[in-house]
Structure 1
Amino acid sequence: MGGDSDWRSSARERQAQADRSRLIRLRTLALIAGSVLASTLIVSGCGEKNAFVPPPPPKIEVALPLKQTVTRYLEATGNTAAVNSTTLVARVQGFIQDIKYKDGDAVKAGTVLFVIEQKPYQLALEQAEAGQSSAAADTKKTEADYKRQVDLAAKNISSQSTLDQATAAKDAAVAKQKQSQVDIEQAQLNLGYTEVKAPFDGIVTSRDVSLGQLVGAGSPTTLATIVQLNPIYVNFAVSETDVQSIRAGIKERGLTSEDLKKIPIEVGLQSEKGYPHRGTLDYAAPSLTAATGTLMVRGILPNADRALLPGYFVRVRVPRAPEPDRLLVPDRVVGSDQSGRYVLVANKDDVLEQRKVELGQQVGELRVIEKGINADDRVVISGLMTVVPGEKIDPVLKTVASPAAEATP
């Protein structure tokens, strides 16, 4: 009986434990369901109170195009060239006696640069002078004989043959005297050639000969080269279209060919900012080059500081007639795509539009707009990388600053 009682007690305990476990699971499920319901209600309540609000339009700077008078320029590239560049040669034969300059010296016109051995030519001059004295004496004697024969012939004392001989002797003596004068001038010229002088102001290159070297034997010997640097030429080409435009402008303004030489020209090196070197037009070819369809033009510039050297590659511009009321915007705001160049403009509703434009010349950091915008258009000048056409903005109106005038040297 005792064993049976213990078994019933153990069964009741197991049943009670199972009931407790079932109750715990039910309570847990009820708690989870309540939490989910509460979360749903909370989320639902938040959605009703916090509806989505789009962000405000971005503040973007815009500006009206700058309107001002702009001088249109004819722009080209060219090369500098020396006004004069001459090879110095020995015009007489002899040994180099003296070199009176250092390689690279700046010299004035008439400066003696080389001296060729002078003694032989000095002696030749003295010989010619002696020959002139002898010829003068012969001329004097023959003239006296001629006059005597003329008197004797008039008195029928001398024959006509003797008079003819006296006349011929006189004429030969006069001719010999003239020849002696030519010999003197030639000897003086050769003596002068022994001093090789600078034909103009310039820079003399390194010498091609040495002291004691024989020069001028058989053919002229190159001694050195002298190059004039002040002033200096700038050669450049003008297209056929520009030539026609310029000719029309010249006709309209009533300019003459002499007036063309007063037109200023501005030049800048590739390493320089702007066009600091200024001169005037000097020459224009009478016809176009058929192969290139261009007209060769030349300017001349003062170059006292030798900033320009022959052979430099330079930028050239020639000012044309000023044009009033041109529209300019900062060059950096001009974009490009496959269809060409454009700017972004805010319309009356502050919505951005993409405007196709035709560009003119650059003026400082500004760019002339030939077509595409009006004077009252608000052009976007900031945030260009963050905005797109069709976007609404909050425009902030700014002013485009006038370009600074380029300094004149």
Structure 2
Amino acid sequence: MISPPYTAALRASALAAAVAAVLSACSANGAQTPAAPAAPQVSVAAVLERPVAETQEFSGRLEAIERVQIRARVAGYIAAVHFKPGALVRKGQLLVQIDPRPFRAEADRSGALAAAARARADLAKLELERAGKLLADKAIAQREFDERSASWKELDASARAAAAQAEAARLNLSFTEVRSPIDGRVGKDELTVGNLVDASNVLTSVVSLERIYASFEGDEATYLRVARRAGKDPVTVQVGLAGEDGFPHEGKLEFVDNQLDTRSGSVRLRALLANRDGSLAPGLFARVRVGGGQARATLLVSDRAVGTDQSHKFVYVVKKDGAPERRPVVLGPAVDGLRVVREGLRAGDMVVVSGLQRIRPGVNVAPTVVPMTATGEKG
């Protein structure tokens, strides 16, 4: 809040500058002399102090939670393609039909062979049961009974092997229908009707869309901040895409890597976002803002007050007598359109927010007090 004494002092300094300019226009004997230049007009605003939970911003990419390459599990000719590239598909939806005729014939043949093998095994079992009764009546020798027992076991094993071959043939027949394993958006058709395919060929791909990852590299300070909250309160993450204002998409931090890259000092992080309308696509560039800090008293100024000298940032603080003082500052992130000031200012300091280019060394200014507003807003 701007103190009344400071405002009165500013008004007095501005009035004194104007009076001095008028008096200097005339000499004691009335001779006309060159007028002194008027004090430069600038707008000043008080440095704000608010409780702020600081955030950090990073660059990253959107990634699909599930991405599946669709391949044929059996070799054959493509008979039909049942999807439109780029369309949404459901789990189990038919995508590609491979010519099923040879596989159906093999399934029928294998099924018939399995049935014949089972019939022989069943007959051998009946003969073994009869032999058991004859052996009890001592009508046959033990050797003959053992031979029939071995014959049944062999035929039963052959029947089970034939049944397994028949099941494999039925599976291969079902594999001629290539279906989507997940819900998502299907890609382009890599091969068209009539092409011969096998497991080495990618037919298309499907990516999940209902939820999506935003992956990014965070710094050590962010890692320490979020690691303390791991397993407790979820850390909120906001995401904005190219062409979007601000960070309209919100999610939760879902993954923090278990170590930092010692070469870059960064750590891999990943946030989970809802994407029910499918507007977020894998591969898009993303701006990621990570919260998680505790709110504390923070100094804030408009970016309009900040000047740059090579790699250094500075502001002009106007004293009560109208003298501008250049102050180097250390800045932090932007919060609600205002810039965090870590070092160089105190709450209530009056900083120039308009007219920086008019300030000259050793020349007092004529300040007009305005409210501190976010960059882009009118004061």
Q: How does 1:133-144 map to 2 (within 5 A)?
A: 133-144=115-126
Q: How does 1:30-49 map to 2 (within 5 A)?
A: 48-49=29-30
Give the Cα–Cα distance (whole angstroms) in 2 for the partners of residues 315 and 211 of structure 1: 42
Work out the number of aligned pairs and report it.
Answer: 351
Q: How does 1:6-405 map to 2 (within 5 A)?
A: 48-50=29-31, 52=33, 54=36, 57-216=39-198, 220-247=200-227, 250=228, 255-257=229-231, 259=232, 262-337=234-309, 340-401=312-373
Cα 1:73/1:209, change in 2 over 3 Å: same
Cα 1:226/1:121, change in 2 over 3 Å: same
Give the Cα–Cα distance (whole angstroms) in 2 for the partners of residues 141 and 198 of structure 1: 45
Helix, strand or coil at the partner of 1:96? strand
Task: Confirm or deny: 8 A CA contact 1:66 1:402 kept in the other structure.
Answer: no
Helix, strand or coil at the partner of 1:321? coil
Q: C-alpha displacement at 1:301, in angstroms?
A: 1.5
Tell me the equivalent position of 1:27: none
Q: State the TM-score, normalized to the length of structure 2.
A: 0.84
Cα 1:325/1:346, change in 2 over 3 Å: same
Q: Which amino acid aligns with 2:170?
A: Q
Give the alignment's Cα RMSD to 1 decimal. 2.5
Q: C-alpha displacement at 1:115, in angstroms?
A: 0.7
Q: Which amino acid aligns with 2:29?
A: E
Helix, strand or coil at the partner of 2:356? coil
| Overall identity of the aligned pairs, in % | 31
Cα offsets for 1:30-69 (capped at 9, x unmatched): xxxxxxxxxxxxxxx9871247564554443222112212
Task: Confirm or deny: 8 A CA contact 1:364 1:403 kept in the other structure.
Answer: no
Cα 1:223/1:207, change in 2 over 3 Å: same
Cα offsets for 1:158-183 (capped at 9, x unmatched): 11110111111121232223223312
Task: Confirm or deny: 8 A CA contact 1:344 1:355 kept in the other structure.
Answer: yes
Q: C-alpha displacement at 1:367, in angstroms?
A: 1.0
Higher helix share: 1
Q: C-alpha displacement at 1:300, in angstroms?
A: 1.9
Cα offsets for 1:170-221 (capped at 9, x unmatched): 21232223223312321221011000001112222222222222222xx533
Give the Cα–Cα distance (whole angstroms) in 1 for the partners of residues 311 and 236 of structure 2: 38
Task: Confirm or deny: 8 A CA contact 1:268 1:277 kept in the other structure.
Answer: yes
Helix, strand or coil at the partner of 1:299? strand
Tell me which structure has the larger Cα radius of gyration.
1
Q: C-alpha displacement at 1:145, in angstroms?
A: 1.2
Cα 1:77/1:192, change in 2 over 3 Å: same
Tell me the equivalent position of 1:23: none
Give the Cα–Cα distance (whole angstroms) in 2 for the partners of residues 390 and 322 of structure 1: 42
| Structure 2 residues not aligned, in runs of 5+ | 1-25
Helix, strand or coil at the partner of 2:54? strand
Q: C-alpha displacement at 1:335, in angstroms?
A: 1.1
Task: Confirm or deny: 8 A CA contact 1:107 1:198 kept in the other structure.
Answer: yes
**Bigger mean CA offset, 136-145 vs 107-116:** 136-145
Task: Confirm or deny: 8 A CA contact 2:184 2:208 kept in the other structure.
Answer: yes
Q: C-alpha displacement at 1:290, in angstroms?
A: 3.7
